A and B are shown apart, each in its own frame.
Chain A
Amino acid sequence: MRRTLQVFAAILIPGLSLLISSCLELSCIDETEAFVKAGFYSYSTKSAAIPDSITLYGLNKDSIIYKKVKLTPPALLPLNDSSSVSVFVIKINGIKDTIEFRYWSYPHLISKECGYSMFHTVDTIFHTKHAIDSISRVNENITTENVESIRIFY
């Protein structure tokens, strides 16, 4: 008993603890981007209605987020972390509108491996009314959770 405990306490566990402490770091497997998640709805029936064609890009940006696609909702709109305003140009079935988000941003730790994401709280939404009839805000907190943020009625 005495000898067993001495060996157990003195030899086995120090080696084990060093092994545990030097174990490999895990890689990031979590979602790290917080998007405004937009669903599309018919303003007449108020039910979900997927447009035949969506084009989406940031105002004054060269790169396009969606280009004439028939997407499976939600559409993912990334907000600008360096600003409190983000403006998107959206073409629904070829008709152009703009949507402006005003918000504030804050860092959120996803995990040690994934680092920090920027979450947002949307304050105000402005939009033009060519194809879009109205936009309703479902969830003002823009996080990595898979929750609809806005509903676009067209």
Chain B
Amino acid sequence: MSRASGYFISLILVISSLTVDVLAQDTIQFPLKFRLGFEVTGAAKYFYEKERVNLEGNFSIDLNEKVSAILVAGRSDYSYSRYRDTSFLMYDYSTKGYYFRAGFDFNLLKPKKSQGKYAVSIGFRYGMSHFDYELPTITHENYWGKSLTSVPTTNEWAHFIEVNPSVRAEVWKNISVGWTVSLRKMIDPGTGRHLKPVYLPGYGNGSKSFSPGVSYFIIWSIPFKNKRLIIQPEPEEEEDQTGTGQNGENMNQGGFRQ
């Protein structure tokens, strides 16, 4: 009898401790969203940098409260002339092409803080650029005099990877703004090692193995599902013990408010 009552008391204690845990939890409805983003700096730059036209958009979808998949597509036209002095054209370069990037963003904010509206993320992408380029004029001068050569229009694929720290914040209902830093590493410029692209659509300076950039986005978010999340309460910060008397005794050993 005494053993049975002991089991019963133990059971009540276990159930009561579980009840305390459940009561300590909080639930939120986390909106999972589609997002359509438009990169605005490419369009803005066109007003003072006419030789470069860049249009870029992205589509992303929340896979859960932390991870979203993203697909970026863009079009870039670029032409560049380099002069040694006003009378000596070193080279003309022009390129146009499409680029695509696909990858994942990982939101570093806790769901309770991000609420589906805010993000401080780190992203990883694989990028491909399909482009035409040509060099109508390459001028070289040495002891024997000046020589002219050219490279006809050539069509290539390039491949690169990116790491993308980013920030996004909702400023109006379902409208967000955000920026993304792009740290790109070339895998293959597609042109061989002698004619690396002066500019590679979606990458930047293709003569460098590393290319950084910053993009600024306006984003339209479309909620498609609410996910119910159970939030564990955060440990409360230790309060100053001075003059607080017995406050410390109201906390359990894990620091959780009971």
Contact status A82-B147, CB under 8 Å = yes
B91-137: which have CB < 8 Å to A? 91, 113, 117-118, 120, 135
In Å, the complex CA distance between A109 and B113 comes to 49
Q: Does A45 count as interface, using CB distance less than 8 angstroms? A: no
In Å, the complex CA distance between A126 and B91 comes to 34
Contacts of A139 in B (CB 8 A): none
In Å, the complex CA distance between A150 and B156 comes to 36
Contacts of B145 in A (CB 8 A): 80, 82
Contacts of A17 in B (CB 8 A): 41, 179, 214-216
Stretch at the interface among A92-100, A115-123, A130-138: A115-123
In Å, the complex CA distance between A20 and B145 comes to 38
Stretch at the interface among B163-171, B220-228, B229-237: B163-171
Q: Does B37 count as interface, using CB distance less than 8 angstroms? A: no
Contact status A21-B45, CB under 8 Å = yes
Contacts of A73 in B (CB 8 A): none
B208-250: which have CB < 8 Å to A? 214-216
Q: Does B196 count as interface, using CB distance less than 8 angstroms? A: yes
In Å, the complex CA distance between A106 and B138 comes to 11
In Å, the complex CA distance between A115 and B176 comes to 41
Q: Does B151 count as interface, using CB distance less than 8 angstroms? A: yes
Contact status B147-A13, CB under 8 Å = no
Contacts of A1 in B (CB 8 A): 113, 118
Q: Does A24 count as interface, using CB distance less than 8 angstroms? A: no
Contact status A58-B169, CB under 8 Å = no
A67-105: which have CB < 8 Å to B? 78-83, 86
B188-211 vs A, Cβ < 8 Å mask (1 yes, 0 no): 000000111011000001010000
Contact status A107-B143, CB under 8 Å = no
Contacts of A58 in B (CB 8 A): 143-144
Contacts of A29 in B (CB 8 A): none
Contacts of A22 in B (CB 8 A): 48
Contacts of A46 in B (CB 8 A): none
Interface size class of A (residues with CB under 8 A): 35 or more
A3-41 vs B, Cβ < 8 Å mask (1 yes, 0 no): 001101110011011101110000000000100000000
Min C-beta distance of A4 to chain B, whole Å: 9
Residue of B nearest to A108 (CB): B194
From B84, B118, B194, B207, A106 is in contact (CB under 8 Å) with B194
From A61, A82, A86, A116, B138 is in contact (CB under 8 Å) with A116
Contact status B169-A61, CB under 8 Å = no
Whether A5 contacts B118 in the complex (CB less than 8 A), given A80-B144, A116-B140, comes out as: yes
Whether A18 contacts B41 in the complex (CB less than 8 A), given A8-B167, A112-B207, comes out as: yes
Q: Does B82 count as interface, using CB distance less than 8 angstroms? A: yes
Contacts of A83 in B (CB 8 A): 144
Whether A9 contacts B179 in the complex (CB less than 8 A), given A17-B214, A115-B91, A118-B140, comes out as: yes
In Å, the complex CA distance between A22 and B49 comes to 9
Q: Does B71 count as interface, using CB distance less than 8 angstroms? A: no
Contact status B140-A117, CB under 8 Å = yes
In Å, the complex CA distance between A13 and B166 comes to 10
Contact status A107-B194, CB under 8 Å = yes
Q: Which residues of A contact B (CB under 8 A)?
A: 1-2, 5-6, 8-10, 13-14, 16-18, 20-22, 33, 58, 61, 63, 65, 78-83, 86, 106-109, 111-113, 115-119
Please give 9 more A-B residue pairs, beta carbons under 8 A apart, in addition to A2-B117, A2-B118, A112-B82: A5-B120, A8-B169, A21-B45, A33-B142, A58-B144, A65-B143, A81-B140, A109-B195, A112-B205
List, sorted by A's number, 25 A–B pairs whose CB atoms are closer than 8 Å: A2-B118, A2-B169, A5-B118, A5-B120, A6-B171, A13-B179, A58-B143, A61-B143, A63-B143, A65-B143, A80-B145, A81-B140, A81-B142, A83-B144, A106-B194, A107-B149, A107-B194, A108-B194, A109-B195, A109-B196, A111-B207, A112-B198, A112-B199, A115-B82, A115-B90
